[in-house]
A = this chain, B = another copy of it.
Amino acid sequence: MEDQQVYTQVIELQGHIIDSMILPQIMDEAIDRGGDFVVEEFQIGRRKAETSYVRLELRAPSPELLDRLVRHARRLGAIVPEAEQVVTKPAPADGVFPEGFYSTTNLETYVRLNGGWTHVEDPEMDLGIVVDYAAGAARTVAISDVKAGDRIAVGHQGVKVIPLERSREQKEAFGFMGSAVSSEKPKATLIREVASQMRAIKSQGGKTLVVAGPAVTHTGAAPLMVKLIEAGYVQYLFAGNALATHDIEAAFYGTSLGISLEQGTQIEGGHQHHIRAINRIRAAGGIRQAVKQGLLTKGIMHACVTHGVDYVLAGSIRDDGPLPDVITDVIESQRRMRAVIHQGVDLALMISTMLHSIAVGNLLPAKVTTVCVDINPAVATKLADRGSFQAIGVVADAEGFLRHLVTELGL
């Protein structure tokens, strides 16, 4: 024991590292995991405008633990003074990363390449980084898209992650952020803020993505969504077969899952409406064709077609039919959603769809403001548990939320 080996690594931190809790977290982690630290140099910002600087030696009894502590610190913005070039290995086969591959976060990331820091394109969590030495470029790559021989980053050497900087204004606006989700908190301010952002995005030519589940139609909120689309507040829609089907069912029969949207009661034979609606669209060749043929004349999907909203309908195993527009291969669906996101999204509004919210949350960069509306508080919690920590939870029913939002937008 007395002769115990110690592994060490010096790291540096610069910035508001105390009031942003970054330094304490690094110290805490070291101690919690059985490591230690020595403060080599410390300059504290005497006033709020001044940044602080610390040079810290992390110490651990094993190289594995040291690695873990360094990785944790780097995730919080620490750099290793003598930055080394990113290390890569070739992918051993199509669809397989080399062992020890660097698994990405959804934060802005850079790799050390040729003495400089190269931005990694398309940040998204749980992917690999493919490095193009010739072009001096790097981008994320999904495991299903990696090709044998691609140079994939391994280890965390030469990889730098930028923690999400949250402006004071944003903190004020979305003060809910990070707090426990509760159905007992006032929502008016939050919805006002969402409306305000949507107006700003619209006026600046930005992009709002709506991710919506079938509860939007079941609760009778489709006309509210149509208003948002018609007023130009929605650029992209990600949904599944269910939303589109029940929306079209409502257009054809006035029901959603066989429940009359006017009466709120089950219609005899109504449980067949959705499958009949699907059949008609299949006969027409698809949603766009049905709109063109004058068959489909209202509803959310109609509004998407007539107002140029780019929609991606992703398949799921509970789908009836499905509609011809639905992408039945889930990996292909991810590719299509990724392609949309890579064009740039400013706000993601997820409404009453746990599956889609988590799926899209996985694909979004952390910097995209993400608002997750569900009557079940567990949805936002799950989203956060799965890495979409930036998501702001709103506990509300789809119809109530959209009604309020539409009013707030003056529609």
Contact = CB atoms under 8 A, between A and B. Distances in A.
A320 interface: yes
A71 interface: yes
Contacts of A20: 24, 28
B44 A39 contact: yes
Given A95-B282, A334-B317, A400-B403, A220 B377 contact: no
A315 interface: yes
Nearest to A47: B38
B396 A397 contact: yes
A322 B176 CA distance: 30
Given A27-B18, A318-B358, A279 B400 contact: no
A288 B393 CA distance: 39
Contacts of A279: 96-97, 99, 101, 143
Interface in A91-115: 92-93, 95-97, 99, 101, 103
Interface string A332-344: 1110010000000
Interface stretch (A267-275, A290-298, A299-307, A364-372): A267-275
Interface in A230-263: 256-257, 259, 261-263
Interface in A183-226: 183-190, 214-215, 218-220
B317 A356 contact: yes
B397 A187 contact: yes
A82 interface: no
A90 interface: no
A261 B215 CA distance: 28
Nearest to A171: B32
B183 A282 contact: no
A206 B266 CA distance: 31
A32 to B, nearest CB: 7
Interface stretch (A6-14, A157-165, A384-392): A384-392
B143 A283 contact: no
Contact of A362 (B37, B126, B318): B318
Contacts of A274: 126
A264 B178 CA distance: 13
A227 interface: no
Dominant SS among interface residues on chain A: mixed
Given A186-B264, A320-B362, A36 B28 contact: no
A278 interface: yes
Most buried by B among A214, A268, A362: A268
Contacts of A375: 183, 375, 395, 397
A83 interface: no
Given A31-B48, A46-B38, A330-B330, A256 B376 contact: no
Contact of A381 (B39, B172, B282, B377): B377
Contacts of A376: 183, 376, 378
Lowest 7 CB-CB distances: which A-B pairs, in order? A400-B400, A175-B265, A186-B220, A318-B359, A103-B272, A315-B330, A19-B27
Given A184-B382, A185-B259, A187-B219, 18 more contacts: A18-B18, A19-B28, A92-B283, A101-B276, A103-B272, A126-B274, A184-B214, A185-B219, A187-B220, A187-B400, A189-B264, A315-B331, A317-B337, A317-B356, A320-B362, A330-B330, A375-B375, A395-B397
Interface of A: 18-21, 23-24, 27-33, 36-39, 42, 44-48, 68-69, 71-72, 92-93, 95-97, 99, 101, 103, 126, 143-144, 168, 171-172, 175-176, 179-190, 214-215, 218-220, 256-257, 259, 261-266, 268-269, 271-272, 274-276, 278-280, 282-283, 314-322, 328-334, 337, 354-356, 358-359, 362, 375-378, 381-382, 384-387, 395-397, 399-401, 403-404
